[in-house]
Structure 1
Amino acid sequence: MTTELLYRDDAYRREVEATVLAAGPDGVLLDRTPFYAQAGGQPGDAGLLRWQAGETPILKAVKGPDDTVLHLPAEGAALPPVGATVTAALDWAPRHRHMRMHTALHLLCSLIPGAGVTGGQIGADRSRLDFDLAAPPTKEWLTERLNALIAEDHPVGERWISEEELDAEPGLVRTLSVQPPRGAGRIRLVRIGPEAAPVDLQPCGGTHVRSTAEIGRVEVTKLENKGKQNRRVYLVLQGE
């Protein structure tokens, strides 16, 4: 059994009808879902499953075995019967903030070229990236340049390449602690800017906005030393 990951083709799809393949204390397994399963520093989506006889709140989506997504219900919540048709609906507000944050972090990467990313975490209110870097730019410079890139309204797109193509361009991978998943034969690239001259291009399985202007204004609020060669950069969204 596998789960069709609808967010890969349309990150703005807020709900969908799906069939229940399994349901138990470990979660609800659907044949298709708009829920992003927690991975790569991006939180799993929350939301609601509704069916003819009831509904259950979903606290978080996580990865299950064999390319599936498990929707974790609230404790004691009713579970839909296997085979039932459910409406899987996202809690959209935090998901959209995660999309804006994730795209902003890609822009942050573009401003610190050549430095590997050693860790990161996406949040609805605050996010961070850790860089293998001795001396980062100032938070004021980063804030100014990020907002300039956002205001330029660069398109955000994606394409797929083979694992062999990625091996031929190892510089596309910015993360040192987590490598793109292999075994499926292809790797998803997220691009900001035009194909011919991207602002940022790197492997990513997360969800993103369609253009940088949708991010809104951001601020780099803090830089921390987390070791001799590790610098943590904190980022917040300004406004709703």
Structure 2
Amino acid sequence: MTQDLFRQNAYQTECSATVTAINPEGVVLDQTVFYPLGGGQAGDTGVLRLANGSGLAIADTRKIKDVQGQPTSDILHLPAPGQEGLLAQLSVGESVTAQIDWARRHRLMRFHTATHLLCHLVPMPVNGCSITPDYARLDFHMTDPLSKEALTAGIAALVAAAHPVALGSVTDAELEANPALVKSMSVSPPRGSGAVRTVQIGTGDLIDLQPCGGTHVANTAEIGAVVVIKIEKKSANTRRVVLGFAA
């Protein structure tokens, strides 16, 4: 089991860790700051710094799946191509320093929080999501048209209002009693541990509250200038909204 430090503090950029497993695909650590692909958000990249000072470049991060194809709590750090020699130098029990590509992560955090603002502006079920360092998109289950200009202006106002973003949790029972908290039709919050992590935007003036395991900024002002670059009709019942950073 990998301890996921990024869930408690998305701003932690590195940590010391111990190698617990090595396989042909990559490295498993006892704890990590690397976010694994999931919930629509891309996995982190970065480097594992070895004791001799050399760095094993990490090109992606994924959760290991069990024999049924379900994600486990073990997180796999996938080396970049050409890193086979450094990977061979590692051994189970060795100490490394895990360092994420912070600039890339911060773009993911800004986009992820921006998609939650979009959920506030378009209060319809979400049936698809992708958050990358270069763009973010949400697919809404709806038929009505949407306005790029109106949504861009709405996001800008929410960013300028500098709403705080806070982590919390609800019990499985509370989530079952309030199904409207779940905005996504395609990603189901993990249940069974007794508590489901939530992200809340706004305090007295609540903007958004929903289960989410991703990384977020601490205040909407940190998102910066985000614009709606495209709205597509993907099907009779789906409208896709694509966000980008303003040039």
Residues 164 and 218, structure 2, Cα contact 8 Å, conserved in 1 = yes
Q: Over residues 107-152 of structure 1, what are the superposed CA-to-partner deviations in whole Å (9 max), with x where a residue is unaligned?
A: 0000011x10010111212111000111143110000011000000
More displaced, 58-67 or 6-15?
Answer: 58-67
- Does the alignment pair 1:188 with 2:169? no
Q: Given residue 30 of structure 1, which amino acid in structure 2 is its aligned partner?
A: L
- Tell me the equivalent position of 1:142: 151
State how far apart, in whole Å, the 2-side matches of 1:197 and 1:148 are: 14
- Report the Cα offset of residue 186 of structure 1: 1.4
State how far apart, in whole Å, the 1-side matches of 2:92 and 2:57 are: 17
- Does the alignment pair 1:108 with 2:107? no
- Report the Cα offset of residue 30 of structure 1: 0.3
- Report the Cα offset of residue 24 of structure 1: 2.2
- Report the Cα offset of residue 188 of structure 1: 0.6
Residues 61 and 77, structure 2, Cα contact 8 Å, conserved in 1 = yes
> Which contiguous aligned blocks of 4+ residues in structure 1 show a shift greater than 6 angstroms?
none
- Tell me the equivalent position of 2:68: none
Runs of 5+ in structure 1 lacking a partner?
Answer: none
SS in 1 for 2:235: coil
Q: Given residue 241 of structure 2, which amino acid in structure 1 is its aligned partner?
A: V
Q: Considering only aligned residues, what root-mean-square deviation do their CA atoms show, in Å?
A: 1.1
State how far apart, in whole Å, the 2-side matches of 1:136 and 1:212 are: 26
State how far apart, in whole Å, the 1-side matches of 2:17 and 2:223 are: 30
State how far apart, in whole Å, the 2-side matches of 1:182 and 1:5 are: 17
- Report the Cα offset of residue 76 of structure 1: 4.1
SS in 1 for 2:139: strand
- Report the Cα offset of residue 161 of structure 1: 1.2
SS in 2 for 1:67: strand
- Does the alignment pair 1:133 with 2:142? yes
More displaced, 75-84 or 31-40?
Answer: 75-84
More displaced, 181-190 or 228-237?
Answer: 181-190
- Tell me the equivalent position of 2:20: 21
Residues 17 and 31, structure 2, Cα contact 8 Å, conserved in 1 = yes
State how far apart, in whole Å, the 1-side matches of 2:104 and 2:237 are: 32
Q: Over residues 34-90 of structure 1, what are the superposed CA-to-partner deviations in whole Å (9 max), with x where a residue is unaligned?
A: 000000110000000011133210011100143111000123421221111100000
- Tell me the equivalent position of 2:77: 71
- Tell me the equivalent position of 1:200: 208
- Tell me the equivalent position of 2:56: 56
Q: Given residue 49 of structure 1, which amino acid in structure 2 is its aligned partner?
A: L
- Tell me the equivalent position of 2:30: 31
- From 223, 227, 232, the equivalent of 1:224 is 232
Q: How many residues are treated as equivalent by the alignment?
A: 236
Q: Given residue 147 of structure 1, which amino acid in structure 2 is its aligned partner?
A: A
- Tell me the equivalent position of 1:168: 177
State how far apart, in whole Å, the 2-side matches of 1:158 and 1:136 are: 33
Q: Given residue 118 of structure 2, which amino acid in structure 1 is its aligned partner?
A: L
Q: Given residue 226 of structure 1, which amino acid in structure 2 is its aligned partner?
A: K
- Does the alignment pair 1:214 with 2:222? yes
Runs of 5+ in structure 2 lacking a partner?
Answer: 66-71
- Tell me the equivalent position of 2:104: 94
Q: Given residue 238 of structure 1, which amino acid in structure 2 is its aligned partner?
A: A
SS in 2 for 1:158: strand
SS in 2 for 1:226: strand
